[in-house]
């Protein structure tokens, strides 16, 4: 049975969620948005695609909130910042991708970010070619915590979700992978797992290097 490892992007491959969160806070200050309410939005929207973030913002900040303008400003600020300062890469990214590319695993990416943004970031890190399948949040109607994005990734890879691992950093991502029938591994970034999330995890590790060692153990036992 074919098997795969499917990665989330923000917070797993790149230390980008901290940059995104800080930009949202900066816009909140400029626009006079309540800081506490923005913190709630940051936490609740981590892992969601733009469609579902828009729904949340309109419910949370009011139906007249101009989410498209907010999104475009945030995206411009993000890309300007990383073009100048670079995009921080998480510990173990190159090592685990190299290991997987030389093993029997297929490699996929399932991120709630737009496909355009995904390709920009992967190109910056020169890791695009490692991924056999890339599924962005704009390729499904509803992304995480719904299972659609992971089901699409597994289908495109030609693998059984039950035999495949999802590597995530957010509760919404873990819920998505679990609902898809996958084995969710959490490498926490900005949000630590609650009891609810811990109960549905396959494994939890501090870094991708630890995940790689687990995968090596599995291969050695096979």
DSSP state of 10: B
CA distances from 156 to 34, 48, 110, 113, 191 (A): 42, 21, 11, 18, 29
Cα 28 from Cα 82, distance rounded (Å):
20
- Sequence-distant contacts of 201-206: CB under 8 A, at least 24 apart: 201/174, 202/165
Cα 175 from Cα 210, distance rounded (Å):
22
Report the phi/psi class of residue 92: left, alpha or beta, with left for phi > 0 and alpha for psi in -120 to 50.
Answer: left
For domain 4-15+88-221, say whether CATH 2.40.110.10 is its number: no
pLDDT at position 220, please? 83
> Which residues, at least 6 apart from 138, have a Cβ–Cβ distance to it below 8 Å?
49, 50, 114, 115
Where are the domains positioned within the chain? 4-15+88-221, 17-85
Q: What is the pLDDT along the chain (222 residues), one digit of tens a residue?
A: 469 999 999 999 999 989 999 999 999 999 999 999 999 999 999 888 888 899 999 999 999 999 999 999 999 999 899 999 999 999 999 999 999 999 989 999 999 999 999 999 999 999 999 999 999 999 998 889 999 999 999 999 999 999 999 999 999 999 999 999 999 999 999 889 999 999 999 999 999 999 999 999 988 886
């Amino acid at each position: 049975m074919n098997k795969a490892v499917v990665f989330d992007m923000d917070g797993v491959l790149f230390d980008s969620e901290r940059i995104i969160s800080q930009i949202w806070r900066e816009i909140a200050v400029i626009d006079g948005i309540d800081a506490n309410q923005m913190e709630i939005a940051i936490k609740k929207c981590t892992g969601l695609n733009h469609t579902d973030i828009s729904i949340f913002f309109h419910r949370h900040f009011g139906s007249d909130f101009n989410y498209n303008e907010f999104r475009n400003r945030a995206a411009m600020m993000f890309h300007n910042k990383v073009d100048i300062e670079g995009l921080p890469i998480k510990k173990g990214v190159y090592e685990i991708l190299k290991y997987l590319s030389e093993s029997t695993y297929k490699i996929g990416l399932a991120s709630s970010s737009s496909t355009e943004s995904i390709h920009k970031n992967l190109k910056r890190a020169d890791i695009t070619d490692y991924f056999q399948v890339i599924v962005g949040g704009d390729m499904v109607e509803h992304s995480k915590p719904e299972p659609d994005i992971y089901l699409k990734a597994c289908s495109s890879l030609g693998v059984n979700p039950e035999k495949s691992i999802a590597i995530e950093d957010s509760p919404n991502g873990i819920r998505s992978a679990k609902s898809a029938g996958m084995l969710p591994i959490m490498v926490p970034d900005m949000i630590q797992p609650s009891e609810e999330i811990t109960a549905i995890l396959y494994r939890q590790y501090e870094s991708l290097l630890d995940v790689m060692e687990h995968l090596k153990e599995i291969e050695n036992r096979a």
